[in-house]
C-alpha cells in the first residue's frame, strides 16, 4: 500500500504545471516537493530504487547507494568499473565530507609507455584507457560509514535488474552505434550484443537485457557480507568483507585475468592497495553562501574560482543572459578553466599545488581586473596564484611557455589526427562552427548525477561515471571498465600536475556540489556532461541565487557553454572564442557577442541534465528538480 501511495504521488506531481509566483515561468517539468525525503538521478528506474530504500527505513545515503548501484547496472553512461565522487552533509557532525572513489593508473601505465605506443594521450577506449574500478569501493564505503541498511538491501534492485530489465532506447541505441568497437573485446561482445550476426545486434528498446555475470558478481558481494554477519561481524565489518572480496578476492582475480587477456595492465596489487579517500572538500563563500567542491583531482575548484571573480560583478544589474552578462560569465570561466588545465591534478602526488592562492579573494580580484570588456580574449592563459601564498612560482618558465592551443606533435592523439572544423555561414549572417561532432561528443562525454536528502538532515550529491559503451568488460565479472585514463597527459607541457604515473588519479571532470547557508544545507546539485559540468552548474547556481529562480526553472533555463578550455577527453582539443548558446537567444544579443569576437553556435538545449534539491527552511520542505531533457527523474515524499 505504501509503495502504491508513492507511485500515486509521483504520477499526480507529473499532472500539474509549475508556475513560480514571482517570475511566473512555466516549466516543462513540474517542481518536485517533498517533506520527508527525496531521491533524484539520471534514470526513472534508479530513482525508484532510491525510493525503495526509504520505505525500508534507510537514510539518504542508503538511497544514493541504491541509485548508484542501479545506474551502474543500466549501461548508459557508466558501469560498475567506473568512478564515483560524492559530497555528503553529515547532520551529526554538521560538516561536509568528500568521497574520492576515483581509480588510479595501473602498474606500467607510465608516460613513456603510452608514448612508445604512439599516443600523445592515453586512448579513449579499450583496456589501456582504464583506471582501476572505483565505484564498488565508493558505494560500499559510503554505505558502511554513513548508511544504515545492509548491502543486501541496497543491492537488491540492481541484482534484480542484472537478472533482466527492460532496456531503454537511449542505452540500446548507444550500444548499437558502438558495436564495431565492442566487437574488439570478446567479453563485451557476449554481454552487449545478444543478437550477434543479425542486422541489429544490440538489444531493442523494451527488450529484457540480461547480465548473468554481473548478477553473479553482485551476489558474491552480498554472500561475503552475509557470511561475515553469520561469523559475528557487525554491519560495517560485514560490508567491508564484501569490499575485500571485490578488491582482494576471487572477483579481483577474475577481473585482473580478464583485463590482462584483453591487453590491459591491471595487477592484483593495483586493486589490493587502492583505497577510497574520505577527505576534506574545498570551499568558498559567495555572498554568504558556502559552496563546497572536491579537491583538485577533479575540476570542481574551477567553479569556486569563477564565483570568487563574479563576486566583484553586478550580475543582476547586467540583466539575465544579456551580452554583458554572458561575456562576464564566459571570461571568468575561461580564466578559471585555464587555471584548471595548468594547476590541477592528483594532490597525493605533489605538494606545491597553489590551491590557497587560486581560491583567494585577492587573486580573484586581480584576475577579474584583467577582463577585456570590449572583446573576448581568446588568448587567456593560466594566472600566477603563488604570490597570493607568499611564494614564487616554481613553474614560471613553463607557465610563460604555455599556449592556448596544445603544442604540435608528431605523435597522433589517441590514434587520430588533429582537425579544426570549418566555419559556415548562418542564416542571420554570422559565422558558426561546422560539423565538429567528434570533438563535441568527447567534450560532453558521459556522466550521470544523483541527489538524495532526508528529514534527518543527511544530504548527498554524487557524480559517478566511467565504463560507458563501448566499455571493455573484465572477464566473467560483468564489470565494464572505466575510460578515465584518457584525462591524463603524457607531457608536462600539457599540464605539469596531471602527467600519468602508476597509482595516480587523473584530473577528471566529475563534480558534485553542496551549498550551505546559515550553517544548514541549502542546495545539492550536479549535472551530466564532461567539461561542461561546472559551466552548467555555475549558471544554475547564479540563476537561483542572483535571479531568484526556483530549482526547476533554473535547471531548464538557457545558458551558454564555452569551449575555450582544453577538453579532458580524446585529443584534448580547444576552441578559443567558441560559444554555444540557446536558440532562444535574441538576435541583438547574438550580434553583440559576434562583434565581441565570439564564434557562435546554437542549440535548443545548452546544458547537460541537471539534478538538484533545494531546502526550503521557511516551510521545512524540499524542492527537487531534474532537467526537462534526458531521462533524469525524481521521487519525493
- Give the model confidence (pLDDT) of 465-497 as tens digits: 999 889 999 999 999 999 999 999 999 999 999
User: 292 falls in which pLDDT band (50, 70, 90)?
Assistant: very high
Across 580-604, average pLDDT: 95
Percent helix, strand and coil across the chain, each to the nearest 5:
40, 20, 45
The continuous run of DSSP H or E covering 97 comes out as strand 95-101
pLDDT number for residue 25: 67
User: 393 falls in which pLDDT band (50, 70, 90)?
Assistant: very high
pLDDT number for residue 40: 97
pLDDT number for residue 428: 39
**pLDDT over 60 (residue 11):** no
pLDDT number for residue 529: 84
Cell of 109: 601505465
pLDDT number for residue 434: 46
Tens of pLDDT, residue by residue over 318-339, are 999 999 999 999 999 999 999 9
pLDDT number for residue 446: 66
pLDDT number for residue 442: 65
Our measurement of the distance from residue 487's CA atom to the centroid of its chain's CA atoms, rounded to an integer in Å, reads 13
Across 381-392, average pLDDT: 97
- Are 45 and 423 contacting, i.e. CB atoms less than 8 angstroms apart? no
CA nearest to 472, candidates 263, 166, 316: 263
Tens of pLDDT, residue by residue over 414-458, are 333 333 344 444 333 344 444 566 676 666 666 789 999 999 999
**pLDDT over 50 (residue 262):** yes
Q: Which of 85-99, 430-444, 551-565 has the lowest mean pLDDT?
A: 430-444
pLDDT number for residue 431: 42
Angle at 306 between CA 303 and CA 308, to 5 degrees: 110
Residue 28 to residues 15, 449, 492, 554, Cα–Cα distance (Å): 11, 20, 46, 12
The continuous run of DSSP H or E covering 379 comes out as none
Pairwise CA distance, residues 575 & 283, whole Å:
29
408 vs 104, higher pLDDT? 104
**pLDDT over 50 (residue 41):** yes
Residue carrying the nine cell digits 557487525:
234
Dump strand ranges (E) for 102-220: 165-166, 208-209
Which percentage of the chain shows pLDDT scores above 70? 89
pLDDT number for residue 425: 40
- Are 258 and 187 contacting, i.e. CB atoms less than 8 angstroms apart? yes
CA nearest to 477, candidates 79, 50, 15: 79
Which percentage of the chain shows pLDDT scores above 90? 82
User: 350 falls in which pLDDT band (50, 70, 90)?
Assistant: confident
**pLDDT over 80 (residue 184):** yes
- Are 167 and 209 contacting, i.e. CB atoms less than 8 angstroms apart? yes
Across 335-350, average pLDDT: 96
Specify which residues 209 forms β-bridges with. Answer: 165
Could you tell me which residues come within 8 angstroms of residue 631 by beta carbon, excluding any fewer than 6 positions away?
A: 42, 43, 44, 168, 170, 609
pLDDT number for residue 150: 98
Pairwise CA distance, residues 329 & 324, whole Å:
9
User: 405 falls in which pLDDT band (50, 70, 90)?
Assistant: low
| Sign of torsion over alpha carbons 554, 560, 563, 569 | positive
- Are 261 and 285 contacting, i.e. CB atoms less than 8 angstroms apart? no
Across 162-181, average pLDDT: 93
Residue 618 to residues 43, 236, 459, 621, Cα–Cα distance (Å): 30, 37, 18, 8
Beta carbons within 10 angstroms of residue 426's beta carbon: 14
- Are 637 and 36 contacting, i.e. CB atoms less than 8 angstroms apart? yes
**pLDDT over 80 (residue 59):** yes
Q: Which is it for strands 459-462 and 84-90: parallel, antiparallel or unpaired?
A: antiparallel
**pLDDT over 90 (residue 6):** no
CA nearest to 171, candidates 207, 136, 126, 133: 207
Pairwise CA distance, residues 362 & 359, whole Å:
9
Backbone angles phi, psi at 313, to 5 degrees: -110, 155
- Are 32 and 625 contacting, i.e. CB atoms less than 8 angstroms apart? yes
- Are 546 and 288 contacting, i.e. CB atoms less than 8 angstroms apart? no
pLDDT number for residue 427: 36
Residue 225 to residues 78, 99, 147, 151, 629, Cα–Cα distance (Å): 25, 22, 15, 7, 39
User: 606 falls in which pLDDT band (50, 70, 90)?
Assistant: confident
Pairwise CA distance, residues 101 & 84, whole Å:
5
**pLDDT over 60 (residue 411):** no
Could you tell me which residues come within 8 angstroms of residue 196 by beta carbon, excluding any fewer than 6 positions away?
A: 189
pLDDT number for residue 305: 98
Backbone angles phi, psi at 70, to 5 degrees: -70, -50
pLDDT number for residue 332: 98
**pLDDT over 80 (residue 602):** yes
Residue 113 to residues 119, 274, 369, 490, Cα–Cα distance (Å): 9, 21, 43, 9
CA dihedral of residues 524, 543, 622, 48 (deg, nearest 10): -60
Tens of pLDDT, residue by residue over 358-373, are 999 999 999 999 999 9
Pairwise CA distance, residues 230 & 88, whole Å:
31
Pairwise CA distance, residues 479 & 502, whole Å:
22
Residue 338 to residues 151, 199, 597, 603, Cα–Cα distance (Å): 42, 46, 19, 25
> Does a cis peptide bond (omega within 30 degrees of 0) precede residue 470?
yes
pLDDT number for residue 604: 87
Residue carrying the nine cell digits 542505452:
171
User: 241 falls in which pLDDT band (50, 70, 90)?
Assistant: very high
Tens of pLDDT, residue by residue over 108-133, are 999 999 999 999 999 999 999 999 99
**What integer best gives the mean pLDDT of the chain?**
90
Amino acid at each position: 500500500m505504501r509503495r502504491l501511495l508513492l507511485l500515486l504521488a509521483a504520477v499526480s506531481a507529473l499532472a500539474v504545471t509549475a508556475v513560480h509566483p514571482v517570475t511566473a515561468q512555466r516549466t516543462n517539468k513540474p517542481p518536485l516537493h517533498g517533506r520527508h525525503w527525496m531521491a533524484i538521478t539520471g534514470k526513472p528506474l534508479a530513482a525508484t530504487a532510491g525510493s525503495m530504500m526509504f520505505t525500508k527505513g534507510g537514510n539518504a545515503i542508503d538511497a544514493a547507494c541504491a541509485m548508484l548501484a542501479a545506474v551502474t547496472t543500466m549501461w548508459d553512461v557508466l558501469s560498475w568499473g567506473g568512478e564515483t565522487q560524492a559530497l555528503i552533509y553529515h547532520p551529526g557532525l554538521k560538516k561536509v565530507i568528500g568521497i574520492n572513489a576515483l581509480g588510479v593508473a595501473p602498474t606500467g601505465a607510465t608516460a613513456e609507455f603510452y608514448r612508445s605506443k604512439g599516443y600523445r594521450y592515453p586512448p579513449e577506449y579499450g583496456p589501456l584507457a582504464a583506471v582501476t574500478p572505483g565505484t564498488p569501493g565508493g558505494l560500499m564505503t559510503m554505505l558502511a560509514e554513513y548508511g544504515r541498511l545492509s548491502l543486501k538491501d541496497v543491492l537488491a534492485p540492481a541484482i534484480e535488474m542484472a537478472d533482466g530489465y527492460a532496456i531503454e532506447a537511449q542505452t540500446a541505441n548507444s550500444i548499437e552505434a558502438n558495436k564495431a568497437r565492442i566487437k574488439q573485446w570478446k567479453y563485451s561482445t557476449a554481454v552487449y550484443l545478444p543478437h550477434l550476426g543479425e542486422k541489429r545486434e544490440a538489444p531493442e528498446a523494451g527488450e529484457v537485457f540480461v547480465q548473468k555475470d554481473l548478477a553473479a558478481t553482485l551476489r558474491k558481494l552480498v554472500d561475503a557480507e552475509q557470511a561475515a554477519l553469520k561469523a559475528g561481524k557487525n554491519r560495517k565489518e560485514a560490508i567491508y568483507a564484501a569490499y575485500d572480496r571485490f578488491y582482494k578476492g576471487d572477483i579481483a582475480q577474475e577481473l585482473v585475468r580478464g583485463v590482462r587477456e584483453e591487453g590491459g595492465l591491471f595487477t592484483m596489487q593495483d586493486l589490493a592497495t587502492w583505497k577510497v579517500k574520505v577527505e576534506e572538500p574545498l570551499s568558498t563563500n559567495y555572498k554568504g553562501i558556502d559552496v563546497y567542491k572536491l579537491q583538485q583531482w577533479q575540476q570542481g575548484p574551477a567553479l569556486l574560482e569563477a564565483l570568487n571573480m563574479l563576486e566583484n560583478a553586478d550580475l543582476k544589474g547586467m540583466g539575465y543572459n544579456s551580452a554583458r552578462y554572458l561575456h562576464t560569465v564566459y571570461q571568468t570561466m575561461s580564466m578559471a578553466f585555464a587555471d584548471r588545465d595548468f594547476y590541477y591534478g592528483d594532490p597525493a602526488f605533489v605538494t606545491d599545488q597553489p590551491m590557497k592562492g587560486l581560491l583567494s579573494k585577492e587573486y580573484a580580484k586581480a584576475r577579474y581586473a584583467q577582463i577585456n570588456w570590449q572583446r573576448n580574449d581568446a588568448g587567456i592563459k593560466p594566472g600566477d596564484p603563488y604570490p597570493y601564498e607568499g611564494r614564487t612560482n616554481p613553474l614560471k618558465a613553463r607557465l610563460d611557455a604555455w599556449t592556448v592551443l596544445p603544442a604540435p606533435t608528431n605523435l597522433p592523439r589517441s590514434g587520430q589526427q588533429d582537425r579544426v572544423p570549418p566555419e559556415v555561414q548562418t542564416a542571420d549572417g554570422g559565422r558558426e562552427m561546422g560539423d565538429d561532432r567528434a570533438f563535441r561528443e568527447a567534450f560532453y562525454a558521459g556522466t550521470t548525477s544523483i541527489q538524495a536528502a532526508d528529514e534527518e538532515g543527511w544530504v548527498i550529491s554524487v557524480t559517478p561515471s566511467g565504463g560507458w559503451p563501448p566499455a571493455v568488460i573484465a572477464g566473467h565479472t560483468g564489470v565494464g571498465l572505466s575510460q578515465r585514463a584518457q584525462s591524463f597527459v603524457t607531457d608536462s607541457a600539457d599540464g605539469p600536475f596531471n602527467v600519468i604515473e602508476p597509482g595516480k588519479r587523473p584530473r577528471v571532470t566529475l563534480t558534485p556540489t553542496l551549498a550551505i547557508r546559515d550553517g544548514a544545507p541549502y542546495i545539492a546539485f550536479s549535472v551530466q556532461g564532461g567539461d561542461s559540468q561546472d559551466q552548467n552548474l555555475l549558471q544554475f547556481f547564479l540563476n537561483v541565487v542572483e535571479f531568484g529562480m526556483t530549482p526547476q526553472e533554473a535547471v531548464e533555463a538557457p545558458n551558454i557553454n564555452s569551449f575555450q578550455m582544453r577538453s579532458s577527453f580524446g585529443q584534448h582539443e580547444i576552441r578559443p572564442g567558441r560559444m554555444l548558446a540557446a536558440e532562444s537567444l535574441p538576435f541583438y544579443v547574438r550580434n553583440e557577442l559576434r562583434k565581441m569576437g565570439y564564434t557562435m553556435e546554437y542549440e535548443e538545449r545548452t546544458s547537460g541534465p541537471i539534478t538538484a534539491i533545494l531546502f526550503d527552511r521557511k516551510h521545512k520542505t524540499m524542492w527537487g528538480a531534474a532537467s526537462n531533457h534526458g531521462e533524469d527523474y525524481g521521487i519525493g515524499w
